[in-house]
Structure 1
Amino acid sequence: MHKILHDTSFSENPLSGKSASIFAEMEGRFAAGYYKFGDLLSAGDLAKEFGVSMQPIRSAIGQLRALGYIRVEPQVGSRVISPTNEEIMDFFCLFGRMEGVLAGLAAERHGERQIAMLDKLAAQIDACKSSERGLPEHYARLVGEWHSVMRSLAHAPALAWRLRSFWSMSDFLLLQGAASFDNEQIKIASQQRRAIRDAIEVRNAPLAEQLMYEHVRGKPVRTGIVSKDNAQDG
């Protein structure tokens, strides 16, 4: 029997029992890039893997479908989404607005000593080296931690909680076959985060919000899942 790793999910979980645990595990897999665009998910194979009946698998798949990770194809089964470039850019536009609101709140509400937490992570991110292909795992993890700390500076846990499903969807999209993420892209992203950090420190909420929006909206292009030309066309 497969060990179910996640007791809690990234997003709000209306399920219970085995269904909830399986959903949390599978959502964690999506966020880690385990599943790829267009993958076919067999409910039967998943039931064997987790050592459960079909019912909790169907419930978990239904919740994943509701969150937009998969679609159900008649006489085929459940397939991981294959979003268009426009759909990916639309998602990050919306996500950027949400992250921007939290950055603005962070500028208004942060404690003086909390900025040092962002600086510590920024130094670790700057020390990362690019990989030959794809988004470096350690880089992605540290950037995720930086954003998590930024959200904590907003002191808006209820709002941050409601955005959890967007964080995991963002990870899922960015980890899909990203092209080589070179040092130049790392420098650009680091410069943007530094500007956001400076705006937060001086409590310039409108600037922090706008800079965060632009930073998040640009992630698909910087990581290579959407080309610059396609992003402009969309």
Structure 2
Amino acid sequence: MKLLMVEDNKSVSEMMAMFFKKEGWDAHFAYDGNEAVAIFSEDPTSWDMITLDLNLPGLDGMQVSAKIREISQAVPIIMLTARDSESDHVLGLEMGADDYVTKPFSPITLIARIKAIHRRAEMSANATNAPVNDNPNDFDITTDHFRLNSNTREAFIGETEIRDLTPKEFDLLKTLAQKPRQVFSREQLLQLVWDYEYYGDERTVDAHIKKLRQKIEKAGPQVIQTVWGVGYKFDDSAVAADEK
């Protein structure tokens, strides 16, 4: 794995360099936002992962993430920050981050997050590059009012496509839709969608659910429901009511 860590605290970078070396990863480091964008821009397709501190000299982490996303939608970004509010989580995801780790963090936890996001990115790339069946009705998830095709990475409410889903939002929607009306806890969704054990950061799920719902509502009635005190479920029964 070729990884770029953008972190202005050299002590943190030096500590993580040891862990990256142990994993056998090709790790590179940038210490301010402008440097990070310049390094990434030299060869965007060569990078497998970016860890990005929020508080940086020059361009801050949000600005760096936005500029990287202008160049590449594919490279996974894990945002690192001492900020710990839901609004920061949501804003980071809106700027293109795939995951969000709050400082101080355990190096082992960060390594696990990186591995999980990398595995998911490879799975998404393989699905995107897989041969696509020419039959437009070949959907692997179909309910009365919802269809999802994993090969084309498309999802529809009725005849309207849910547009601009990120890889993580698509995986989250697919996981819920595979078992309609089953309630998934946040811990379960972290394991199934992010592919890592629960480390206490449920807001990663909540922030992605918020963005996913916004995109669903542009296509039709809401199909992701909150079960208070438990988690989330897929339920498209409201689509029929809305169509009457």
User: What TM-score do the two structures reach when normalised by structure 1?
Assistant: 0.27
Which structure has the higher relative contact order (CA within 8 Å, separation 6+)? 1
User: What TM-score do the two structures reach when normalised by structure 2?
Assistant: 0.26
Q: Which is helix-richer, 1 or 2?
A: 1
Q: Which is strand-richer, 1 or 2?
A: 2
